[in-house]
Homo-oligomer: A and B are copies of this chain.
Amino acid sequence: MKRIFKIASALFITLVTLNTSAQLKGLDLVKYVDPFIGAVGEGHTFPGATLPYGMVKLGPDVAPLNSNSGYLPQGNIRGFSHVHVSGTGGPPKYGNVLVAATSGDVNIKDFSTDRANEKSSPGYYTVQSTKYKLKSEFTVTHSVGFHRYTNTNKGNLNLFFDLGSFLSWGGYKEVGELDQELVGSEIKIVSATEIEGYTRVRGGWNVGEAYTVFFYAVLDKPANAYGTWKSGQIHEGSKEEFDSHEATGAYLTFDTAAATIQMKVGISYISAGKARQNVHIELAHWDFNRVKKAASDTWNKKLNSVIANTKNEDQKKIFYSALYRTMLMPVNRTNENPKWISKTPYYDDYYCIWDTYRATHPLLTLIQKKEQVAMINSLLDIYKNEGYMPDARSGNYTGRTQGGSNTDVLIADAYAKGLEGIDYHEGLNAMLKNAEVPPGGNERQYGRGGLSDYNTIGYVSTDFERAGSRTMEYAYNDFCIAMVAKGIGKDSLYKKYIKRSGNWENLWNAGIKSNGVSGFIWPRTRNGSWQGAWNVHKSEGWNGWLYEGNSWEYSLYVPHNVNGLIKKAGGNSAFIKRLDTFFTKNSQSFHAWLNDYYNVNNEPGFLTPTLYSYVGKPAKTNETVRKIIANNYNSNPDGLPGNDDAGSMSAWYVFNSIGFFPVAGQDLYLITSPMFDEIKLDLGEGKQLSIISKGLSQNNKYITSASLNGRPLNRSWFTHTEIKNGGTIIFQMAPVPSNWGTAILPPIIQ
């Protein structure tokens, strides 16, 4: 009888839930999102449950825990942890506060399980254990993971809380790199339904100092038995383990009557008390389905910022899954900063801005303006409190800088596009800090490594790692400083930095030839001479001369002076030939890799397909972008060209398939290759931008005419200023190019 009553009341609750949150905001778009896209292969995307910019990212950690997202398509699930990142590479970060469920005997040495019926949708993840005959389900609020375990084997159910678990490569160490390692943990069973504690971990990709993830878990049924462990030693009936720099954990056991166990796990970077408060504030009830629905609704509302129409349902799936992934990171940790008090929003897991400044942030500026302003202010607040804006930040710790000081581009972009609510004078100060003060001791952590060279001889010499990519990016960063300085009336600063923005020329070696093309950037020693042996196709890592890109790619990265670049490269036809060769020599196979000339997975080339516009060949952009997308994106779990890089690959896709791409840092969009019949962007404040592509088809990939708000748009570009109050762009598509866009070339802003 008791059992039947329980089922009845559960049904009742479900009905109530459906009633109270019946109507969706906007279209049902979450149905197009498949969180598994990119989760397999090199995409490293996180397929678990989370909200937009959500602090809790609750998902499976699959043995051997060496995955960046915790997820692997094969292998046993060790448990479900509450903090993850998405799409990253290098030594992994997070994977903290792991919970696992089993039935049968308590075995603290192994609570991993096989897996079946794995499913995921925005804000929800579920998997079943054949071994333990258990179903595990997870949904989330911003800071709380909601667990539901259904025991179908009528045996007992055990829950394990493992504070010694985290993602790692198993102790990887190189000079300047550090795998995650435990610093300490503590656990306390507060009552038969409550448990709290923390795990403290340091290292990982950004070689961060120790961060602490606190949790408070509350269950809907009391445990019948419990115990703790420390460093693998079980203590039955014990209620707590203090922090002696060891791995601790606890388990709770429930009797057979408890067919379903629900649990809320609040997470905090402040304290266990704050984690408990997060539960109290965000999740006052026990209705799992209601939370699941609310999470889905939250996502749906965000996804409705872009309405994309096409008959191709698979394309919608690719598109909305990509749009979804652009909102996984950074993470909003306002009120969760353990380092200082501020009224400014606090975001963590900028991972990293080198990846996201090119597409993700410009996308936010269009469809999530408030988030973009909040993020820029969070970066300025970090500058104010720590001395530098981060290029990458994770675990409340700034480091590493991959290339330039890319926050400069964010600020210039915001300024160029007129974002309000940002102190641009403070922004300029923060940019000048990057540009003038060498980061010292650890040149990978802050600002601009190799700055002492750059500011004296005009380029970063081979004495420093990543000297080539650094130089190219610093030049563009300097342009960004110049633009903001000019805008706020700092003329002498403008002059200084606009001059410095020409520094890329100092690495241009006209004598280098590759595949019929002449002139490439090339390694240069401190005394000014060119380095002898090197390879323009060489794409390298942290210790190399060019970071994640070869000289073909970086020799095309001068976003502020494409005309100057064209001149250096031998004029228009030489430049067209260069681009043609660049993209032709791109492997047409799926998952292009490092030895290809062009690689969509290398962010330095994000803008390159649009450069045809600068030589009056927008049709070549049309076809190139289509080809890249066709070859690199699909709706399979391995449907991304490489690491999603916190949504960067996804943002690239979103922009290009909408039909234009931003020149980050400038008031300029270059038209690419629209892939939807109609697409509507919600710019906020009731403003909407529609892009209508008439006659679009597989064959009709060329834009032959265009209009903006009813007036002809005889150019392959437009400005943010032109569309920021909304409007309509109409493209006429055709199977062969016209002379559209060949005459009025994109402006060189100086």
Contact = CB atoms under 8 A, between A and B. Distances in A.
Interface of A: 181-184, 186, 188, 198, 200, 202, 209-210, 240-245, 270-271, 273-274, 276-277, 335, 338-341, 387-388, 433, 437-443, 446-447, 452
A41 B339 CA distance: 34
Contacts of A447: 440-441
A339 B209 contact: yes
3 interchain residue pairs of minimum CB distance? A440-B440, A242-B273, A242-B277
Given A341-B181, A452-B452, A244 B440 contact: no
Given A183-B339, A441-B446, 5 more contacts: A182-B341, A202-B339, A433-B441, A439-B440, A440-B446
Contacts of A341: 181-184, 245
Contacts of A242: 271, 273-274, 276-277
Nearest to A242: B273
6 contacts: A183-B338, A184-B338, A209-B339, A243-B274, A439-B441, A440-B441
How often does this chain occur in the complex, in copies?
A: 2
Nearest to A449: B440
A388 B441 contact: yes
A442 B387 contact: yes
A654 to B, nearest CB: 36
Given A273-B186, A273-B243, A277-B244, A202 B340 contact: yes
A193 to B, nearest CB: 17
A49 B443 CA distance: 44
Instruction: Identify the interface centre among A183, A273, A387: most chain B CB within 10 Å of its CB.
Output: A273
Contacts of A277: 242, 244
Given A276-B242, A339-B210, A441 B387 contact: yes
Given A202-B339, A210-B338, A273 B240 contact: yes
A270 B184 contact: yes
Nearest to A276: B242
A240 B340 CA distance: 22
A747 to B, nearest CB: 36
- Residue of A274, A341, A438, A446 with highest tally of chain B CB at under 10 A: A341
Contacts of A270: 184, 243, 245
B243 A184 contact: no
Nearest to A248: B273
A178 to B, nearest CB: 10
Nearest to A446: B441
Given A245-B335, A341-B181, A440-B437, A198 B271 contact: yes
B338 A200 contact: yes
Contact of A186 (B210, B271, B339): B271
Nearest to A181: B341
Nearest to A245: B341
A259 to B, nearest CB: 33
A171 to B, nearest CB: 13
B387 A335 contact: no
A340 B181 CA distance: 9
A401 B594 CA distance: 45
A601 to B, nearest CB: 32
B335 A244 contact: yes
A240 B188 CA distance: 16
Contacts of A446: 440-441
Nearest to A387: B441
Nearest to A184: B270
A271 B202 CA distance: 17
Nearest to A273: B242
Contacts of A210: 338-340
Contacts of A188: 273
A245 B346 CA distance: 14
Nearest to A198: B271
Contact of A271 (B182, B184, B438, B443): B184
A443 B387 CA distance: 11
Contacts of A240: 273
The interface centre, meaning the residue of A182, A198, A339 with most chain B CB atoms within 10 A of its CB, is: A339
A340 B440 contact: no
Q: Which of A338, A339, A388, A438 gathers most chain B CB within 10 Å? A: A338
A198 B212 CA distance: 15
A186 B270 CA distance: 10
A335 B181 CA distance: 17
A134 to B, nearest CB: 31
Contacts of A387: 441-442
Residue among A240, A271, A447 with max Cβ neighbours from chain B (10 Å): A271
Nearest to A214: B243
A535 B209 CA distance: 45
Nearest to A342: B245
A389 to B, nearest CB: 12
Contacts of A338: 183-184, 200, 210
A273 B245 CA distance: 12
A47 B643 CA distance: 59
A190 to B, nearest CB: 10
Nearest to A210: B339
A447 B442 CA distance: 12
Contacts of A441: 387-388, 433, 437-440, 446-447
A244 B271 CA distance: 10
A479 to B, nearest CB: 23
A164 to B, nearest CB: 12
A72 B205 CA distance: 48
Contacts of A439: 440-441
Nearest to A209: B339
A200 B340 CA distance: 9
A340 B210 CA distance: 7
A277 B270 CA distance: 22
A270 to B, nearest CB: 5
